[in-house]
Amino acid sequence: MFPSHSFAPLKIRGRTLLPVVQGGMGVGISAHRLAGSVAREGAVGTIASIDLRHHHDDLIEMCRADPQHETLERANLIALAREIEAARKLSGGNGMIAVNVMKAVRAHADYVRVACENGADAIVMGAGLPLDLPDMTQGFDVALIPILSDSRGVALVLKKWIKKGRLPDAIVIEHPAHAGGHLGVTNIDDMADPRFEFDRVLAELEAVYASLGLSRDDVPLIVAGGINSHEAVRRWLGAGANGVQVGTPFAVTEEGDAHPNFKRVLADAKPEDIVEFVSVTGLPARAVRTPWLTRYLRNESRVRVKLGPLKLPCTTKLECLSVCGLRDGIEKFGQFCIDTRLAAALRGDVANGLFFRGREALPFGTAIRSVRDLLELLLTGVARPAVARRAAFSLG
Ligand SMILES: Cc1cc2nc3c(=O)[nH]c(=O)nc-3n(C[C@H](O)[C@H](O)[C@H](O)COP(=O)(O)O)c2cc1C
């Protein structure tokens, strides 16, 4: 377990945890190895539920042999169950194993069910309002953690959930101007809106909590996006957050589940290489300008005009999203297959992958370090000397 630090612990559903949470990162970027390693240190480690079959050779083989939608979906649910079990084993019973589920994913209710049935400690839901999450998890003893971006969204979820007789066990407040992956705004130009500033959200939520008779012990707040140093952790925990969620810095750890090339692309990216664009989900997203993304962005308007409102069959048969710009012919959304691109990035295919990344510099610069080193740096400000370790990566 982790040595001492000066911050108050994060308490979620009766568990005492380190106040640094590892954010869920799909496709396959945070699977059992990363989540289990983080939990082993006494923190929340999060498995991203989407399309985990890529980590299991036998399941990929099963999908190749029978490339039907039902088979792909079944493979992913089997993979999620396996990843939860492996993460739990690795954690040695420490910390918490959370499963991140995106509301925008068509099979989100199945992912939630399988996560609960396989003993996930928490469900973390973003990319859409998780208004029915309490209904989906009825009868399971599992922490529920919505991801939202402004106080209005938090107030809405709190009020709706209170009517259902359930409180969130924590809430993640993710800042769209800093975080990686899909961002919680409808309009790309809205990202820097002051309503997302952590200081403002924390202050506005004081009034919301008071009006609902809630305290932070009831529903702790975790801020996410761009937290990349001990100073940043100190600042936000000092400003009243109960925890911080960190994504990109964990993606590039030795234990991160992606190919080493994935980590290199993220770690080597310079500020000018990081771009925002509209994803097929319709949400803005942030990623590294790699060869495929450069090409796509150059041709985006031409592709939009060419395809127009034309509906296309799902290219992978996975039908991963409830609403997909490419499949459903939604001209103002992105026009590419997100699953194909994210899976290529996971495999380290630099030419063809889509590499999600947060906007800020990394705590260890371009160095790849362990989960333990990262937690220690974030919580104590002390960077241990690097120890040469063998990179461990396998798909399957
Ligand atoms: C590669 C990558 C993939 C991500 N995938 C997801 C995801 O599947 N679901 C989700 O809720 N958030 C996702 N995120 C957001 C992270 O969980 C986290 O909240 C965010 O990146 C925090 O900002 P930071 O990267 O600046 O630390 C992703 C982020 C990255 C960098």
CA dist., res. 259 & res. 27, Å (int): 12
Whether residues 138 and 281 share a domain: the answer is no
Q: How far is CA 181 from the centre of its chain?
A: 8
Q: What is the pLDDT of residues 264-285, one digit of tens each?
A: 999 999 999 999 999 999 999 9
Predicted confidence at residue 390, as pLDDT, reads 56
Residue identifier of the C-alpha nearest atom 11 of ligand 1: 126
Is residue 5 one of the residues assigned to a domain? no
Regarding predicted confidence, which is higher, 234 or 315? Answer: 234
What's the rounded mean pLDDT across residues 192-210? 97
Which has more pLDDT, 188 or 174? 174
User: For the residues 286-294, what does the mean pLDDT come to?
Assistant: 98
Q: What is the mean pLDDT of residues 104-123?
A: 97
Q: Does residue 391 belong to any structural domain of this protein?
A: no
Q: Give the whole-number percent of the chain exceeding pLDDT 90.
A: 85
Q: Does 184 have pLDDT greater than 90?
A: no
Based on the fold, state whether residues 368 and 322 are members of the same structural domain: no
Q: Closest Cα to atom 18, ligand 1: which residue?
A: 247
The rounded Cα 96 to chain-centroid distance in angstroms is: 15
- Regarding whether 168 and 276 lie in a shared domain, the answer is no
Atom of ligand 1 nearest to the CA of 258: 1
Residue 149 in any domain: the answer is yes
Ligand 1 centre and the CA of 180: distance in Å?
A: 5
CB 278 within 8 A of CB 333: yes
Same-domain status, 40 and 84: yes
80, part of any domain: yes
| pLDDT score, position 389 | 66
> Which residue CA neighbors atom 10 of ligand 1 most closely?
24
Nearest ligand 1 atom to alpha carbon 356: 1
Compute the distance from residue 134 Cα to the ligand 1 centre, in Å. Answer: 23
**Do the beta carbons of residue 339 and residue 347 sit within 8 Å?**
no
Give yes or no: residues 372 and 319 share one domain. Answer: no
| Rounded (10°) CA dihedral 116, 124, 348, 303 | 110
- The predicted pLDDT at position 127 comes to 81
Mean pLDDT computed over 69-84: 97
Do 256 and 276 share a structural domain?
no
More confident of the two residues 385 and 72: 72
CA distance 35 to 304: 38
Q: How many angstroms separate the alpha carbon of residue 390 from the centre of ligand 1?
A: 26
CATH label of the domain that carries residue 180: 3.20.20.70
Range in 37-41, 93-97, 392-396 with the lowest mean pLDDT: 392-396
Q: Establish if 27 belongs to a structural domain.
A: yes
Q: What is the pTM of this model?
A: 0.96
Nearest CA to ligand 1 atom 13: 25
Ligand 1 — pocket residues by CB below 6 A? 23-26, 29, 48, 50, 100, 102, 126, 147, 174, 178-181, 224-227, 245-248, 251, 356-358, 360
Q: Mean pLDDT of all residues in the chain? A: 95
Q: Which atom of ligand 1 is nearest to the CA of 125?
A: 11
Ligand 1 pocket test, candidate residues 356, 375, 377, most atoms within 8 A of CB: 356
Q: Does some domain include residue 238?
A: yes
Atom of ligand 1 nearest to the CA of 355: 1
Residue nearest to atom 1 of ligand 1 (CA): 356
Residue 303: predicted pLDDT: 85
Residue 396 clears pLDDT 90, i.e. is over it: no
Per-residue pLDDT, averaged over 88-100, amounts to 98
Centroid of ligand 1 to alpha carbon of 165 (angstroms): 30
CA of 361 to the centre of ligand 1 (A): 15
Atom of ligand 1 nearest to the CA of 357: 31
Same domain? For 333 and 211 the reply is no
Residue 235 has pLDDT above 70, yes or no: yes
Q: What pLDDT score does 393 carry?
A: 66
Give the per-residue SS3 of the chain.
CCCCCCCCCEEECCEEECCEEECCCCCCCCCHHHHHHHHHCCCEEEEECCCHHHHCHHHHHHHHHCCCHHHHHHHHHHHHHHHHHHHHHHHCCCCEEEEEEECCECCHHHHHHHHHHCCCCEEEEECCCCCCHHHHCCCCCCEEEEEECCHHHHHHHHHHHHHCCCCCCCEEEECCCCCCEECCCCCHHHCCCHHHCHHHHHHHHHHHHHHHCCCCCCCCEEEECCCCCHHHHHHHHHCCCCEEEECHHHHCCCCCCCCHHHHHHHHHCCHHHEEEEECCCCCEEEEECCHHHHHHHHHHHHHHHHHCCCCCCCCCCCCCECCCCCCCCCCCCCCCCHHHHHHHHHCCCCCCCCCECCCCCCCCCCCCCCHHHHHHHHHHCCCCCCCCCCCCCCCC
Residue 292 shares a structural domain with residue 204? no
pLDDT tens-digit map of 78-89: 999 999 999 999
Q: Which atom of ligand 1 is nearest to the CA of 228?
A: 27
204 and 112 in one domain?
yes
Residue 188 lies in a domain: yes
Question: Residues 66, 141: one domain?
Answer: yes
Q: Specify the pLDDT at position 4.
A: 84
| Least trusted range by pLDDT, from 96-110, 123-137, 304-318 | 304-318
* Confidence category of residue 304, pLDDT binned at 50, 70, 90: confident
CA of 74 to the centre of ligand 1 (A): 25
- Domain range spanning residue 295? 270-356
pLDDT number for residue 128: 85
Q: How many domains does the chain have?
A: 2
Pocket test for ligand 1, best of 25, 182, 280 (most atoms within 8 A of CB): 25
Do 286 and 185 belong to one domain? Answer: no
Name the least confident of 32-41, 156-165, 166-175, 299-308. Answer: 299-308
Same domain, 171 and 258: yes
Answer yes or no: is pLDDT of 239 > 80. yes
Is residue 386 one of the residues assigned to a domain? Answer: no
Confidence at 384, pLDDT banded by 50, 70, 90:
confident
Task: Indicate whether 190 pLDDT > 60.
Answer: yes
Closest protein CA for atom 17 of ligand 1: 23
Residue nearest atom 7 in ligand 1 by C-alpha distance = 25
* pLDDT, tens only, 9-57: 999 999 999 999 999 999 999 999 999 999 999 999 999 999 999 999 9
